[in-house]
Amino acid sequence: MESASSLTISTVRSSECLRIEISNNVYLVSKQGIYQRQEIILNKPFSRVPMEKGVAMHLDYSGSFIFNGKLLTVDAICKLSHGPLGERLNLNVTYDNEVIGNYSAMISYMGGGSNGVWPFLKGDDWILIFTFSSTGFNSKKNELVIEYYKSVIPDPNLAFNTPKRKCISADDIPKEILDTTYSIEDLKSIEKTQWLIPVRDEQNNMIGKLSCCSYPGYERYYNSYYGDLKRILDMKDNLPFIAKSHNEDFIYTIEYEHEGTVERFFPWNNTRVSYTI
């Protein structure tokens, strides 16, 4: 997802973390902590190639690095091949002779799927993030990237796994909860700052403040409809809205204050309310 030009937010695979770019700064953020990129260990863009003898090998990479005094090895393959005809992606990573990633995926005219574990590596005050994307898998870029982040405010409970999408049937939530809605400004009295840091430019001048805020007892919902297509098309009011939580959840925002303005984002999952009509 992207915002106005001052800030860019994107998701991080198999994680609720976000990657935020402001000026020359790149951050990895969670709801409880923030890390800043220190180094790009590997940046290998690649091009898609035509098939030759039944295979189009877009990338076949093997490399090793010394990271924190231990050996990090990376093997990555992206190709188009038969059996059935489709895109295949493999990423295998070891650190200090321990397997930390063994991910494989395939997409073809017959379907597709994936298995294994996407790699991640986390220390007490640092994180390595692995990106391996291909336009054959509906990504925007063909690239293999490893980024090293150092903690600014560490999140000791940060874990990397696929975030669960929040969904509830409209029949399982009291109607009065959804009938009373709020603006985020209505909730200022209960706002809690989870973390806040100054943002600086290349000359170390402060250019803004980046923070994560929470609003306990409230959720951001959106409606989803199933059933009669004509009635569904007549439904207009399906924009996200704020109401009280049905399960003691929180709203979390990312806020960037600069040049006298505040940009606010709701980058984490909204709760889907499912209606059958």
What would the pLDDT profile of 182-239 be if each residue is shown by its tens digit? Answer: 999 999 999 999 999 999 999 999 999 999 999 999 999 998 888 776 666 666 567 8
How far is the C-alpha of 265 from the C-alpha of 181, rounded, in Å?
Answer: 18
Greater confidence (81 vs 237) lies with 81
Confidence of residue 277 (pLDDT cuts 50, 70, 90): confident
How far is the C-alpha of 181 from the C-alpha of 238, rounded, in Å?
Answer: 13
User: So what's the pLDDT on residue 4?
Assistant: 43
| Global confidence as pTM | 0.88
Strand partners, 18: 11, 29
Q: Which of 118, 153, 188 lies at the terminal end of a domain, its last residue?
A: 153
Total number of domains constituting the chain: 2
Residue 24 lies in a domain: no
Tokens, residue 148:
């090293």
User: So what's the pLDDT on residue 28?
Assistant: 97
Kindly report whether the peptide bond that precedes residue 84 is cis, defined as omega within 30 degrees of 0.
Answer: yes
H helix or E strand, kind and range, residue 60? strand 55-67
Whether residues 148 and 171 fall in one domain: no
Is there a contact between 62 and 75 (Cβ–Cβ < 8 Å)? yes
Whether residues 100 and 181 fall in one domain: no
Q: Which of 101, 124, 153 lies at the terminal end of a domain, its last residue?
A: 153
SS3 call for 232? helix
Please compute the mean of the pLDDT values over residues 244-271 and round it to a whole number.
Answer: 92
Q: Which of 93, 120, 153 lies at the terminal end of a domain, its last residue?
A: 153
Domain range for residue 130? 34-153
